[in-house]
Structure 1
């Protein structure tokens, strides 16, 4: 199952890339939402950087391992995530529309590798319209936050 969206951001591509690749900020945000996350890299994020993630979902502790598969500053990156029977590939692409405008493309591809994961994906497919709307709203809010931060930084 795939989710994807695009948003145009009123900021230069280098600034947008800096914001979408702020993995330390994503870690802090996840911790505030009750997600246990631990990084397996020194300081520099590069191909192979990885995180162990644990969070409660539907009454059980779920565990995931996320790893940066490709990174191409300032064009984007891909993160491969493995969990109990499921693979998630997240792609973030940036395209410079002009010096001060950038298109942000975010896609998530979920694939089941076990029967229980297939059942979870099947139930998600029944609610795909609602989940797609929530995904798009979250990306839109993130893009608006980037624009607001850029305006403040000028």
Structure 2
């Protein structure tokens, strides 16, 4: 199952990359949403194997996932991979400078089952595909807007 969305942000590419790679801010945001997390590695040097153990409730069940930074390319993007609870996932975030003050952020999320339980979960997600795709795009647009406002405030 795959989700894809693109958003344009009125900010320089370096600033946008700094915002999406502010792992401590993202961790605080996850904690506010009720996700338990334990970081493995140093966020000051993310290219050396930064990872997180996440625990949260989804569809009435406790889910445990290991999320790892698979690729970290300063200014252009990163790839996160994760697995657990019968599902493997991969999220690619790519940044493209459209102009000195405009950046396009593309996010692709791919989920694939690894067990029968995971297959049932992915199948139920496929049944709600249009709603989930809409929510994914809205969430990314909201994140892009917040990032743009934060970067323009500090500029």
Q: TM-score, normalised by structure 1?
A: 0.96
Residues 74 and 94 in structure 1, CA contact (< 8 A), matched pair in contact too: yes
Secondary structure (helix, strand or coil) at the match of 2:16 reads helix
The equivalent residue for 1:135 is: 136
**Unaligned regions of 5+ residues in structure 1, if any?**
none
**Does residue 3 of the first structure (1) align with residue 3 of the second (2)?**
yes
Tell me by how many angstroms 1:57 deviates: 2.1
Secondary structure (helix, strand or coil) at the match of 1:42 reads coil
Residues 69 and 78 in structure 1, CA contact (< 8 A), matched pair in contact too: yes
Residues 66 and 84 in structure 2, CA contact (< 8 A), matched pair in contact too: yes
Residues 47 and 71 in structure 1, CA contact (< 8 A), matched pair in contact too: no
CA RMSD of aligned residues (A): 1.0
Secondary structure (helix, strand or coil) at the match of 1:74 reads coil
- Comparing 144-153 with 96-105, greater Cα deviation is found at 144-153
Task: After superposition, give the CA deviation of every residue in 1:63-100 in whole Å (9 maximum; x if it has no partner).
Answer: 00000100101000000001121100011000001100
CA distance in 2, matches of 1:3, 1:47: 28
The equivalent residue for 1:83 is: 84
The equivalent residue for 2:26 is: 26
Give the number of equivalent residue pairs: 154
The equivalent residue for 2:96 is: 95
The equivalent residue for 1:120 is: 121
Residues 13 and 75 in structure 2, CA contact (< 8 A), matched pair in contact too: yes
Tell me by how many angstroms 1:19 deviates: 0.6
Tell me by how many angstroms 1:60 deviates: 2.5
Residues 47 and 69 in structure 1, CA contact (< 8 A), matched pair in contact too: no
The equivalent residue for 2:47 is: 46
**Unaligned regions of 5+ residues in structure 2, if any?**
none
